[in-house]
Structure 1
Amino acid sequence: MPERRSAVVTARVSAAEFAAWRAKAAAAGVPLSALIRRAMARTRTWTARAADVERERTREAARIGNNLNQIARWANTHKGAAEAVEVIARLVAIERALAALARFESPDRDAH
C-alpha cells in the first residue's frame, strides 16, 4: 500500500506561473501535485563544492572550444600549407580532453 500523503507544501508563484503549471499538468493528464512531485524527483541538488566543480568543468570545456576554434582558424587560413598530421593530432588531443571531462563526475552530486 502506498504511503499516505498528508504533508502539504506551499509555494508562492505568480498567476501566470500557476496557470502554466496547471496547463502542463492537464496536458500530462495528471493532477498538479503529481506533476510537481515528478519534477522534484528528477531535480538534482548541488552542494557548494559540486557547483564549484561544475563551474571548473564549464571553464575547461570553454578552453577546449577555444583551442578548437584556433585550430579551425589556422586550418582555414593556411589551407595549402596545413600539415594534416599536426591538425589531426591536435583534434585527437581535444577529443581526449573532452572525453576525460565527460567522464569526470563530482562526488558531491546528489542524485535525488
Structure 2
Amino acid sequence: MDIWEKLYNEAKVLYNPHEVSPFIYAERAAAFNTYQQSKQTKIKRIIAFRDEAPSGVGGMPCGACREFLMQLNIKNADTETMVDYATRETTTLNELMPNWWGATRA
C-alpha cells in the first residue's frame, strides 16, 4: 500500500457528502482546521475527491484553494496533489501556479 492509497482509504471513511455552497471547498476547510488545531501551515500531500478517486483534472484544488494554500505557507508550493489515482499522477502547487504573485512578498 502506497501513501496515496493510505490517504484515499482514510479520507473515504470520513467522506460525508453535503453541500452548503458550491464555493466552499474541502481543501481550504481542511487546511484552516489543521492550522486552528495544530498551528501547522505546511501541507505535504492532498487527495481531493467526491464519491470516487480522482481521475483527471477534477481532483485538483480550485484556484481559491490553491491561493489559500500558497498564502498559508510559501513552502506549500511543493504540496503534491493527486491528479489521477489509477496512474498515481500528481502535480504540485508550483506547477499549477508557476508565477504566483506572492512569491516575492513571502
**With CA pairs under 8 Å and 6+ residues apart, which has the higher RCO, 1 or 2?**
1
Global fold match (TM > 0.5): no
| Bigger Rg, which one | 1
What TM-score, normalized to structure 1? Answer: 0.20
- Structure with a larger share of its residues in strand: 2
- Structure with a larger share of its residues in helix: 1
